[in-house]
Amino acid sequence: MDALSDDAGGKRARGLDRAFEILDFLRQKRQALKPNEIAAQIGAPRSSVYELVNLLLRNGILEFTGGEGRVYLGRKLYFLGAAYENHFDFTRECEAVLERLADETRETAQFCMLDGNKYTVVRMREGARPFRISTDVGQSVPIPWTASGRLLVAHMSNEDILTFIPPQDFCLPSGEWLDPQAFLAEVRQAERDGLFTFNSIVDSFTHCFAVPVTDEEGHVAATLCLVAPRDDGLANRERYLDCLKDAARGLSHAPARPKRS
């Protein structure tokens, strides 16, 4: 009986893992897809994907959209996210900090974290520029492509970093390969300096700034970033870093702090 129960529990756990894989895949693709397309692209059995998609549809986690049986993330996820944000003071504090940074510098300000083994922008405030120069909120980006990535993995050993980051993520948007050892050297320099800045790898005309936001144990839990036109970023480097450091001091130790009742 115990063996049967363990087996059933294992199947349920694998089903949950697969359901989250489907949700993450749709989030990364940013488009509605048919269940058979999802199954093919995540390498899962079609029967399992159809069963899980139907379950998620019944619970409002997925919704039909775009016709021909395509599905995408459902509005129930919005309500769940809103409930999460309502429970934490930190989200409100983060929004206020980003607004102040964008006002002080006129540049795009971002709050960034790791999502699994990828980098993502969690919150963003656009700067006063007439054109967008930033990554979309929630978009997964390879860690080596980002200034923040050097800080977000700095608590790991070199060996753990190379195990954590998929080898293909060292292939840059240009098609060139970033030497992992050069990346590790930059990680250690960022750890010593408590910041990292560079000319963006993703495009050719921006300069990126990142400073750490630490948790209660002093570990880097997130980063605050500025994305600026390259010439302006270089000309205002010290002022922008001062603004970022001051803002990060106000946010550090704040993540995961629930509102007091």
Residue 120 pairs with which residues in a beta bridge? 113
User: What CATH number is attached to the domain comprising 96?
Assistant: 3.30.450.40
Of 54, 78, 102, the last residue of a domain is: 78
Residue 259 located in a structural domain: no
Secondary structure element (H or E) that encloses residue 124, with its range? strand 118-125
What pTM did the predictor assign?
0.71
How far is Cα 150 from Cα 161, in angstroms, rounded to an integer? 10
What pLDDT, on the 0 to 100 scale, is given for residue 129?
67
Which of 131, 146, 135 lies closest to 232, judged by CA? Answer: 131
Co-location of 64 and 114 in the same domain: no
Of 26, 57, 78, the last residue of a domain is: 78
What pLDDT, on the 0 to 100 scale, is given for residue 256?
47
Which position has the token pair 């980002």? 146
Domain span holding position 51: 2-78
Rg of the chain over Cα atoms, rounded to whole angstroms, equals 21
Co-location of 195 and 230 in the same domain: yes
Q: For residue range 108-160, what is the model confidence (pLDDT) as tens digits?
A: 999 999 988 999 998 899 887 655 555 667 788 999 999 999 999 999 999 99
Of 23, 56, 78, the last residue of a domain is: 78
Residues with pLDDT less than 70, the chain: 1-9, 85-92, 129-136, 203-204, 253-261
Secondary structure element (H or E) that encloses residue 196, with its range? strand 196-199
Secondary structure element (H or E) that encloses residue 110, with its range? strand 108-115
Q: Are the C-beta atoms of 209 and 233 separated by less than 8 Å?
A: yes
Q: How many domains does the chain have?
A: 2
Which of 211, 217, 181 lies closest to 197, judged by CA? Answer: 211
